[in-house]
Structure 1
Amino acid sequence: MNVTIVPKRPGKLYPTDILFQSRYWSDVKARLGWKAYAFDIESTGIDKDMLVIVKPFGPRAVAAYVPQGPEFAPDQEDYGTYLEALSESIVEQIDADISFIRYDLPWESPYAAEMRQQNWHDFPESRVREMRMNFGTKHWNLKKAPVDVTVANSCVVDLDGDDRHLLARMKPKTRYNIGLAERKGVRVHIASAEQLPIFYRLYCQTSRRHGFHTNDYQYFSALFSASKRHYDSSEVLLLLACRGQEALAGAIVVLSGKGALFLHGASADHQREYMASYLMHWKAIQYARARQCRTYDMGAVSPSDDPGHSFHGLYRFKTGFGGRIVHNSGSWDYPVKKEVYRDFRNWEMVLSQHEGGHAIGE
């Protein structure tokens, strides 16, 4: 397959509904030490481009990361050959000593049809997925990453109706809890960036409670400082759900193009009986629809209603809002320096097992 990329300035990226491929996101990552590159992709008659960010990891590894990209996908049978050709072009174009390329693919999973079956839990192991991805490639060099950097399975609410229509699609318990929060005096407001420390305290409480990796405050600060330059294409919202003067829940939601993404959430350890998170998401949905967004992406869930999955609690909570489950292909690597990549991969696997995080990302 012939794929050619042509360099351009990151500030010239096309508008997109995918936050992580936007001009705004290139600015956020630049503030956090990444070097941003942008390319036009010339393979068909469709105008498309791609953001690539590069950063050293440890003493030897240099990663080129394509966050939630490329946006436009080939036919499923061409996934591997397309990525192989694209990877070789990236290596030729980027002026860095790249150890590997990581793609966080927003493309539909080849197993999506099976995953939509009720109670489908038997996901193929990485070796089988790699055989399918590499079929037809020259070098069989695409590897399934140990962890998915952003989200492989998400719950997306379509904003295609008025309040009554959206509420009618929700589960009865979700509607009840939204009303309960309102009756108990919970109020949701759009907060200023100066109130970010309030959100971060809630976020740290949530991290300790659930044992997930905690991002530094600098990362959250970059989200809002970069937004000042991109208000015309991306809008960053800090939502706080309060009862009286006390914040019970918070969310960072970013609007990019016609898509709204629930990027981060947090809730207090106490007064959880007031169901503040339910009302917070409902207000985010209403705001996104008022800004002409077509979708509200609620983020990670388990692939199906599987009580044994670590994200099953998120599945139960988020699907209550009437969304559909989107199954993407997840994160894939193209090693350039095989030994360096192997060492990095081993380190990342240890990191994910012991700290609940990953090396690439925020």
Structure 2
Amino acid sequence: MRIRLKPKHFGALLPTDILFQTVFWGDVKSRVGWEVRAFDIGLREPSGDILVLTRSIGRGIKAAYVPQGPEFGPDPENYGFFLEELSEAMAEHLDPTVAFIRYDLPWESHYAREVREQIWPGRPEPRLREMRMNFGTKSWNLRKTTVDMTVADTMVVDIRDTEEAILSRMKPKTRYNIRLAGRKGVEVSLASAEKLPAFYGLYCQTAARNGFFTCGYQHFSALFSALTSGPGSPDLLFLLASRKEDLLAGAIIAISGRTAVYLFGASSTENRSFMGSYAVQWDAIRRARSRGCMHYDMGAVSPALDPDHPFHGLYRFKTGFGGRIVHRCGSWDYPFNQDTYDAFRKSETAGGEFENSRKVHNLTSC
């Protein structure tokens, strides 16, 4: 049966633990140049909704982006068929200049069990993943993106238990570093938006040190400008760790429903022996737990212990906090204009032809 979509204002999105499918996130993205749409989704009756973002990628062409959505999906063997139906239904409501839809799927990967049990060191090559995803579809049109977004493999810590129990599940070295920070006089405090410039400088320093993509300062401003006091609205924890006059580390954590999400982190290149980053993460866990959160999503890690993976350092740091790795499907494209899409793919990896290809390429947080 064909999926039906009913347009609505994004301000009417249903509450969800998925931050990137909330009214708040739509407001953030609208402040940094995205067009924001929302749809009720279902068969005969609405069974959920979806936030969709669009923007120009140059040459009079637009791209659509679904951040960590849709929230609810079918049985894994029907992922592709569902996405095909959803994409074709969405095409009837999108601007005809939209060349493709990019889905950053929150659903569990087809290969999660094999990765968890180390049957495979990672996922199969894209060609084989595309064959499985497209099985049962009419057009075989779903394409694996060149690089997964940062939520393809994420570390999630269960924080429903007591603080003592949470600490007991951590690696001994992590517990030691948390306590070491306290002994060295590191203090973590809630900061206001006035401290953003100092945090942003630290954030850029961290990105340069690790070779990560950086978001523009306007995105950080938008995060705080979009905050509301409405019931069920996401909130932000802006934490800074310092020792005397020295700023050591910081983090911006969003709380949506029962889930806390680590959005951005930063640490000073100097004074790293004071373990400011460990103090910040432990403080975030304690504060999120006190606000009724059940899970703390620490964000990107490599899917397994792999020294050659660009997120290997994140894996080493975050696995110390005693969580589990959630393996998601990653990012998938559904092209409407194949020639334009193929040109965009080339531009995305090599740069050049499309002015906003880099911005579309790394959109989970920015």
Q: Match for residue 65 of structure 2?
A: 65
Whichever residue aligns with residue 131 of structure 1, its letter is M
Q: Match for residue 242 of structure 2?
A: 242
**Runs of 5+ unmatched residues, structure 1:** none
TM-score, with structure 2 as normaliser: 0.95
CA contact (8 A) 2:69 2:105 kept: yes
Q: Match for residue 320 of structure 2?
A: 320
Between the aligned partners of 1:79 and 1:260, the Cα distance in structure 2 is: 27
**Runs of 5+ unmatched residues, structure 2:** none
CA contact (8 A) 2:4 2:44 kept: no
CA contact (8 A) 2:206 2:267 kept: yes
CA contact (8 A) 1:118 1:305 kept: no
Between the aligned partners of 2:138 and 2:118, the Cα distance in structure 1 is: 37
1:7-28 CA-to-partner distances (Å, cap 9, x unmatched) read: 1110000000000000000000
Between the aligned partners of 1:50 and 1:177, the Cα distance in structure 2 is: 41
CA RMSD of aligned residues (A): 1.7
Between the aligned partners of 2:211 and 2:84, the Cα distance in structure 1 is: 36
Shift of residue 237 of structure 1? 1.6
Within the alignment, does 1:161 sit opposite 2:158 as a pair?
no
Shift of residue 215 of structure 1? 1.1
CA contact (8 A) 2:232 2:257 kept: no
Q: Match for residue 359 of structure 1?
A: 360
DSSP-derived class of the 2:265 partner: strand
Between the aligned partners of 1:236 and 1:311, the Cα distance in structure 2 is: 25
Q: Match for residue 349 of structure 2?
A: 349
Whichever residue aligns with residue 359 of structure 1, its letter is V
Shift of residue 94 of structure 1? 2.0
Whichever residue aligns with residue 214 of structure 2, its letter is T
CA contact (8 A) 1:119 1:305 kept: no
CA contact (8 A) 1:61 1:344 kept: no
CA contact (8 A) 1:5 1:40 kept: yes
Between the aligned partners of 1:96 and 1:281, the Cα distance in structure 2 is: 45
DSSP-derived class of the 2:360 partner: coil
Between the aligned partners of 2:192 and 2:140, the Cα distance in structure 1 is: 49
Q: Match for residue 213 of structure 1?
A: 213
Shift of residue 164 of structure 1? 0.4
DSSP-derived class of the 1:306 partner: coil
Within the alignment, does 1:199 sit opposite 2:199 as a pair?
yes
Q: Match for residue 52 of structure 2?
A: 52
Trace 1:1-362 onto structure 2 (pairs within 5 A).
1-43=1-43, 47-118=47-118, 120-228=120-228, 232-351=232-351, 359-360=360-361, 361=363, 362=366
Between the aligned partners of 1:334 and 1:178, the Cα distance in structure 2 is: 45
Whichever residue aligns with residue 360 of structure 2, its letter is A
Aligned sequence identity (%): 56
Between the aligned partners of 1:318 and 1:335, the Cα distance in structure 2 is: 35
When residues 130 and 293 of structure 1 are mapped into structure 2, their CA distance, relative to the original with a 3 A threshold, is: same
Shift of residue 119 of structure 1? 7.6
Between the aligned partners of 1:122 and 1:214, the Cα distance in structure 2 is: 26
Shift of residue 58 of structure 1? 1.7
**Higher mean displacement: 66-75 or 53-62:** 53-62
Between the aligned partners of 1:68 and 1:184, the Cα distance in structure 2 is: 39
DSSP-derived class of the 2:329 partner: strand
Between the aligned partners of 1:122 and 1:186, the Cα distance in structure 2 is: 38
CA contact (8 A) 1:29 1:36 kept: yes
DSSP-derived class of the 2:157 partner: strand
DSSP-derived class of the 1:320 partner: helix
Shift of residue 231 of structure 1? 7.2
When residues 179 and 8 of structure 1 are mapped into structure 2, their CA distance, relative to the original with a 3 A threshold, is: same
CA contact (8 A) 1:306 1:312 kept: yes
Between the aligned partners of 2:211 and 2:306, the Cα distance in structure 1 is: 20
TM-score, with structure 1 as normaliser: 0.96
1:244-269 CA-to-partner distances (Å, cap 9, x unmatched) read: 12110010100011110000100011
Q: How many residues align?
A: 359
Shift of residue 59 of structure 1? 1.5
Between the aligned partners of 1:298 and 1:48, the Cα distance in structure 2 is: 26
Between the aligned partners of 2:178 and 2:126, the Cα distance in structure 1 is: 40
Whichever residue aligns with residue 130 of structure 2, its letter is E
Shift of residue 289 of structure 1? 0.5
1:208-258 CA-to-partner distances (Å, cap 9, x unmatched) read: 111111111001110111114657411012110101121100101000111
CA contact (8 A) 1:351 1:359 kept: no
Between the aligned partners of 1:249 and 1:350, the Cα distance in structure 2 is: 34
Between the aligned partners of 1:44 and 1:81, the Cα distance in structure 2 is: 18
When residues 152 and 44 of structure 1 are mapped into structure 2, their CA distance, relative to the original with a 3 A threshold, is: farther
DSSP-derived class of the 1:287 partner: helix
**Higher mean displacement: 293-302 or 343-352:** 343-352
Between the aligned partners of 1:184 and 1:59, the Cα distance in structure 2 is: 55
DSSP-derived class of the 1:5 partner: strand
DSSP-derived class of the 2:161 partner: coil
CA contact (8 A) 2:64 2:98 kept: yes
Shift of residue 206 of structure 1? 0.5
